[in-house]
Amino acid sequence: MTRTCCKADSSPTGSRPRTLPPALLSAGARRLGILALLCAFANVGMGVGSRLLGAHLGLPPPSGTVLFAEIAAVAASLGIFALTRRTDQDPAELLDRGLVYEVGMGFLIAVAYHCWPAPPGQMPKGWSPVAVWLVAFALLVPATRGKNFLATVATALMDPLGLMVSFALGSPAPPALVVASMFLPTAIAAAAAVVGSRVVSELSEQAGRAQELGSYRLVSLLGRGGMGEVWRAEHRMLARDAAIKLVRGGTDHSGRELMARFEREAKVTAGLRSPHTVQLYDFGRSDDGAFYYVMELLDGFALDEIVRRFGPLAPGRVVHVMRQVCHSLAEAHAAGLVHRDIKPGNIFLGRYGGDPDFVKVLDFGLVKTLAASGADLTQTGLIAGTPAYMPPEMALGRAVDGRTDLYALGAVGYTLLTGLPVFERATALETIHDHASTIPIPPSRRVATPIPPGLERVLLDCLAKEPHERPESARALEARLAEIRLPEPWKREDAERWWNRNGGQTVRAASVPGPASEIDPEGTRLTPPAAAAL
């Protein structure tokens, strides 16, 4: 389920975003992880060092309260670090959790510091490490003005609270003037942190205005891959949400190839008009050189998610879905284009314009023209496409045509019907080999659910090894699907009941850009793309 990440002022006159720009959010999340890891190591090092020094000076060992605070600080720091390593984390939500972590760490630092036993007759300690923590966090982890102010004040108040804990445990209370002087450095550090936060906030707002993409503002992160991101966006003037696919390519060959693929995807998608092909609104380059395009924001599920969460589809529904995909592919094939990556993750099912179970085909990033030669389809060490749905001619590096997509669509239908891939193998290379040379087991022999013979025959024809043995075109396949006798056809009322029961849980838009799959030099395994579909 998507979460709002980078909400901007939606009013046309709004000139100041309410939160930080996406680039600063991502950078801040990374710095939060680094800071948390350093804090964990510092707590361990200082705890061990202080105990060794105390033993050398003959001081009593620290109480269990100090040990608890130290362990809690290390655990909290490692937990935050682990969260920042997860690729599915919303940076804005992560930074909000970071502010809670700042306050909690302020309390634990203060308790460990003030409850540490002092030499007999020595007055309470001077300024505490909370002051350093306040400044370090404000400078390294960005936040909006309001949030930073509240977190800074709350963290500063943890210092006297830690001293009160030490009093409750039996430490002598010093004179009020001494207590006030103890917390003067913390108060100064809090003021510096607030001022520093305002400076960072102003710079962030300037960066946010500079990074608006065309007429759109980024709102929330939908997914992140190895080379790019997909964001929910809003038009600054129109009441229309959209999805923005953003990629920053490197200067090496792979980076240039990715950028070329991304630009090709935008141009190809913009030229297609089938209602079952995702619609593209705009594309271009941002001020920092990133390439982006804006597409319609879809409400629903990708087919792989539907199978994973709800199980196999009814035969009538499989036919209903496949016919709509054929509509999209027919237009692309008529324009001389082959999709080359038809798979459940690139087929989106949702509610569209009041119609339930409406299909959208996504991700034309691997599209090739029918005029491309077989040598153009693969590169040394690279395989385009997805192993579980890879047609034999792509696995063997041969020329492709529209029937290549029909093979992959047959594999999709097989999975939708059974919940299983056509070939279940331990490695991707074994899967590719089976697609190239192994006859698939009929789906009726793999599941107990009755499968209409006509549908099974169509799927197996699509999965023929030789292209000329498959349906000759997407339109021909759609016609054969329409002729299948189904004991229980999928009706609009069925779709409406399903969506009323299960819909509205996910908003997704497109595949996250990532590098092509690679086979290692020994050819023994396939390394998957750095980013899978959303």
Show which residues are catalytic. Answer: 341
Backbone angles phi and psi of 283, in degrees to 5: -155, 160
Distance CA 300, CA 493 (A): 17
Report yes or no: 106 and 114 within 8 Å, Cβ to Cβ.
no
Q: At residue 317, what is the residue type?
A: R
Report yes or no: 388 and 343 within 8 Å, Cβ to Cβ.
yes
Q: At residue 314, what is the residue type?
A: A
DSSP state of 424: -
Give me the residue label for tokens 């009323």.
500
In the chain, what is the straight-line distance between the N-terminal and C-terminal CA atoms, in Å?
11
Report yes or no: 306 and 317 within 8 Å, Cβ to Cβ.
no
Q: Which two tokens stand for residue 511?
A: 């595949």
DSSP state of 511: B
Give me the residue label for tokens 């939500």.
93
DSSP assignments along 31-49, one per residue? HHHHHHHHHHHHHHHHHHH
Distance CA 516, CA 86 (A): 22
Distance CA 403, CA 391 (A): 9
